[in-house]
Structure 1
Amino acid sequence: MTSGRRGLAPRKQPRQVRAELTRQRILDAAAHIFEEYGYAAGTTNRIAERARVSIGSLYQYYPNKDAILVELVTRHLEAGEASVARYLAEGLPESLEGILRVFVRAAVENHVADPQLLRVMAEEAPRAPELLAKVNAYEEERVRYGRELLERHPEVRVTDTEAAARLLVTTVELVVHKICSAPVPLETGRLEDELVAMLHRYLTGGAAVSRGAGSG
């Protein structure tokens, strides 16, 4: 992939409703184009045509398709944060199983809509320093929060909570992404149940959990 030297920041920050709607239309069109054609064939001309804007208008907002993909990755991260925040606002369950289910479900919900686009974002997104810094900051915040949860929950039996938190965050992200973007994905309820059971056994030393608790 290209580096961040070509310029990945949006050129124009919309200040009016119409401009913001145009930007969103470009991003939505790009998501469909990358999902349909892949990143290499997902040209800015195709994106502009799908968004019903001129190529000149597109370049007023984004200097190249790398910048558009970076913005889509950022939007994906922000959607994940918002999903977790909604669950936290409702209050976490008391049981460790319930807590794990909340975070696994939030991850699944953030991955099921556009699996092909997620594959493009994970495998073909520009490895720009600013994007990597944003992803790393997002992961570090989740690790910090996970470590605090593990340290104070009475069901947890692992002693190295720093390592456990990193394994927890990484496992949820990678497993959910890999399975949701697979050609034949696992049904989301089964994915949630099995992943929660696996993580619960690791954190508690083998205690069983109920299946399908609170599954939608």
Structure 2
Amino acid sequence: MAPSDRRTAPRRRPRQVRAELTRERILTAAAHVFAEHGYAAGTTNRIAERARISIGSLYQYFPNKDAILAELAVQHIDRGQWTAAGDLDLAPGTLEATVRTFVEDAIGNHRDDPRLLRLMIEEAAVSQDVLAAIARHEKVRTAHVRDVLARHPDVDVGDLDVAAELVLFTVELNTHRFMAAARTVAVETFADELVAMVTRYLRGAG
């Protein structure tokens, strides 16, 4: 993600339902425009036309397309949710199935248009809102993963806190990059290899 400046701050935080709906129309339109035309050609005029609003109305909410893409990145980060720890089968012999649930959840959270995902990686500015979303995401999911690892009888690692961070980072980063790339490998093959790698690590030397 690119460095941030004041350009990424939204102009208006809606307080009324109608205003919030307009803001969401802008973001939805922008996602389509960026995916179809790329970032350079994804102008605010095109976004406003796709959202069926005037360019002046768009600028009431966002000062430019940098701020729009930054907000799309925040939504992407906040939208991802993993299966609740209580819903996982933690009986002996199910560690691979538990890891697969993590991997499949991550893949599901990254099934956005690959071109839009690439734009988020390459073009989205690291605004304060993006940094705050990342912090929320990491705190909640690291605690979630640690809870699962602490209760699973097949896990054998030296430090649960470090292990939770490693699992989260490994699954999320690799999935994000894989899903954003022009793929020559099937998603199922990627998932199988990632599950196998993480499972081997969590089982330890034993």
Within the alignment, does 1:170 sit opposite 2:169 as a pair?
Answer: yes
- Which residue does the alignment assign to 2:204? 205
Q: Name 1:111's counterpart in structure 2.
A: 110
Letter in 1 for 2:5: G
Q: 1:97 and 1:206, CA in 2 relative to 1: closer, same or farther beyond 3 A?
A: farther
User: Sequence identity, in percent?
Assistant: 51
Compute the displacement of 1:154 (Å).
1.2
Q: Does the 8 A contact of 1:2 with 1:126 survive in 2?
A: yes
Deviates more, 1:127-136 or 1:161-170: 127-136
- Residue 5 of structure 1 corresponds to 6
> Matches of 2:96 and 2:120 in 1, distance apart?
30
Partners of 1:108 and 1:3 in 2: CA distance: 27
Q: How does 1:186-197 map to 2 (within 5 A)?
A: 186-197=185-196
Three-state SS of the structure 2 residue aligned to 1:184 is coil
What is the match of residue 22 of structure 1? 22
| Distance of 1:9 and 1:74 partners within structure 2 | 12
Name the CA shift for 1:2/1:53 in 2 (closer, same or farther; >3 Å).
farther
**Higher normalized contact order (CA 8 Å, seq sep 6+, divided by chain length):** 2
Residue 124 of structure 2 aligns with which residue? 125
What residue identity is the alignment partner of 2:156? Answer: R
How far off is 1:42 after superposition?
1.8
Residue 36 of structure 1: aligned partner = 36
Matches of 2:74 and 2:12, distance apart in 1: 16
Aligned mates of 1:23, 1:5 — CA distance in 2: 19
TM-score normalised by the chain length of structure 1: 0.83
Work out the CA distance in 2 between the residues paired with 1:185 and 1:93: 33
The CA RMSD measured in Å over matched residues stands at 2.2
Where does residue 68 of structure 2 map in the other structure? 68
Which residue, out of 82, 86, 92, partners 2:88? 92
Which runs of 5 or more residues in structure 2 are unaligned?
A: none
SS at match of 2:84: helix
| Residues 14, 23 of structure 1: 8 Å contact kept | no
Amino acid at match of 1:13: P
Q: Number of matched residues?
A: 202
Amino acid at match of 1:203: L
CA distance in 1, matches of 2:48, 2:173: 32
- d(CA) in 1 for partners of 2:48, 2:88: 43
Q: Would the alpha carbon gap of residues 76 and 108 (structure 1) be closer, same or farther in structure 2, given more than 3 Å must change?
A: same
Contact 2:110 2:176 in 1 (8 A): yes
2:155 alignment counterpart: 156
Between 168-177 and 156-165, report the one with greater CA deviation.
156-165
Greater Cα shift, 92-101 or 53-62: 92-101
| Contact 2:10–2:61, Cα closer than 8 Å, also in 1 | no
Q: Which moved more, 1:37-46 or 1:112-121?
A: 37-46
Q: What TM-score does the superposition give when structure 2 sets the normalisation length? A: 0.87
Shift of 1:56: 0.6
Whole-angstrom CA distance in 2 between matches of 1:88 and 1:141 = 11
